[in-house]
Structure formats: structure tokens, C-alpha cells
Amino acid sequence: MHSHVRRGLPMLTAVGLTVGVTALAAPAAHAEPDCGRAPVQYSVDGGAHWTNDATMPAESGSVQVRLAGVPTAGCDYHVSLGSYATQGTTWATSGQQTFLGWATTTLTREHYRDTLDVTGHLPRCYGELALYSVGEKYDGSDSDHPLPHYPDEPFSGLVIASWNGGTACAPTPTGSPTTPAPTPTSAATPTPTPTSATAPAPTPVPGAPTASPRATPRTPATTTPATSAPTLAATGSDDGLLTAAGVAAAALIAAGGVALRLGRRR
């Protein structure tokens, strides 16, 4: 029996050495750190006050973020700020949203504080600001990055804080533009219309018969039937003839009287 044990000892020693060398050569297992959700605080007043309230106290295009406490070594915490135009002042009335701008950063144990700035992309009227713990831009560019739309939000469960508010945009004027009045110009002097025009006398053609002027047509006299006692009516130039005849007769009578007296004297 002892001889069998002595013969087996070298074999067991060789096996033990092989197992030991193999164990020493194997790499040590690497344990991933348990990062969990980013313990983020934010400030909208330049770092004067820090909070982790889910509702932002005011609209701010510049938001400072930092890791609270002692973050786990080897962990990366992505934080993003998105700006959107909305159709209402609350999340429930936000309606159709329009992407305006986005900023993101990665916080670590060594780089535990940063500033997200979207001041050049703030909503002019109703709007929303969303601070969330993921490094994705939800701008509606594809199905994996949809726009927020109540009641669904792409960063559900990842929102650190948000702001909704603003004022209504001024209505767009719908009236037609006013046509400017025409510039007054000097009135043109009207050309007088000639009342009558004297036709130039035609130039006579040698050898052609001279045309007699057209006699003005006269209205024929109306014939009055004769009555039992004809009445003489003297009008116009007939009265002048009668007067002249009377004067001539008186002159003849006077001349006859003178001649008669002369004859008697003789």
C-alpha cells in the first residue's frame, strides 16, 4: 500500500502545479459599477440656488447642472435640455410641439458640473423646457426621436425638471393692405370746343360752271277761303307803299292848286 502511495505522489504534485498555474493565469473578473439614475441638481439663477424640484421655477435658457453627493467612480451621467414651442401654457394643453433647440453634457466624478445653454432657441410664445437624464435629441427626426405630445413624452421616467408657460402670440393681421392715394397732378387745361367753323370758300375750277347758292326754302302761304266782304290787310312793306302814295297824291293836289291860281291871275 505504501508503495502505491509513493508512486502516486509525483502524479498528484504535477496535477496540483498545473491547476495552480492555470488559476493564476486566468484574468480577474471585472465588476461593472452600479451607476443608477443620475443624482442631478440644477440652478436657473447662475448657481445661487440649487434644486431638484420637478418643476422649474422660471423660464431660463441657461441651466447649470451638477451631480449631487459623491458620484460613483466610472459612471457617466448624460443630461440634456430641450426647448419646444407649444400651443398652450401647460403640459396638458401643450398640443402640437415644435422643436427649437437642444444642449447636452456628460457628467462624471471628475466633471461633475456644467452649463446647458439654449438661450438662442427659446419659445417666443407658449413653450416648454425639458431637462432630462439622457443624451438623446428628441426633435421628431425619426420614430426613435419623437417630439413630446401630451400625454406621451419620449423621455418619460427620465425627466429631471420641466417648465411650461409663456404668452399667446399676437394675431396675424388679415386685412388687405391699404392702397396709397395717387399723387395729385396739375389739371390739364381743357381745350375749348369750337362753337362754329367757317368753311373755306372752294377754289373755282377754270371752265367749270359757277354753282348758284341754294335759295332758302320758303314756307308756302296758306290760302284763306274768300268771304262775302273781302278785307284788305296791310302789313309789313305794304304800309310803306300806301304812305308814299298818299304823300305823292298830296303833292300833286298842291301842285294843281298852285297852277290853278297862276292861271286865274293871268
Q: Considering only CA atoms, which of 32, 39, 128 is closest in space to residue 79?
A: 39
**Predicted local confidence at residue 224, as pLDDT:** 46
**Predicted local confidence at residue 161, as pLDDT:** 96
State how far the alpha carbon of 174 is from the alpha carbons of 29, 64, 169, 177, 195, in Å.
Answer: 72, 43, 15, 9, 56
> Which element (helix H / strand E) includes 20?
helix 2-25
Q: Which range, 87-101, 152-166, 231-245, has the best average confidence (pLDDT)?
A: 87-101
What average pLDDT score do residues 247-252 get?
A: 65
Give percent of the chain with pLDDT exceeding 70. 53
What average pLDDT score do residues 177-184 get?
A: 63
Q: Which range, 57-61, 174-178, 234-238, has the best average confidence (pLDDT)?
A: 57-61
**Predicted local confidence at residue 33, as pLDDT:** 75
**Predicted local confidence at residue 69, as pLDDT:** 81
pLDDT band at 207 (very low <50, low <70, confident <90, very high): low
Q: Model confidence over 153-171: pLDDT tens digits? A: 898 889 999 999 999 998 8
Does residue 92 or residue 194 have the better pLDDT?
92
**Predicted local confidence at residue 228, as pLDDT:** 45
Rounded Cα–Cα distance for residues 154 and 77 (Å): 18
Instruction: Evaluate whether 100 touches 147 at the Cβ level (below 8 Å).
Output: no
Rounded Cα–Cα distance for residues 218 and 181 (Å): 62
pLDDT band at 87 (very low <50, low <70, confident <90, very high): very high
Instruction: Evaluate whether 118 touches 77 at the Cβ level (below 8 Å).
Output: no
Check pLDDT > 70 for residue 18.
no
DSSP calls for 138-183: -SSSSTTSPPPBTTB-TTTTTEEEEEEE--PPPPPP-SPPPPPPPP
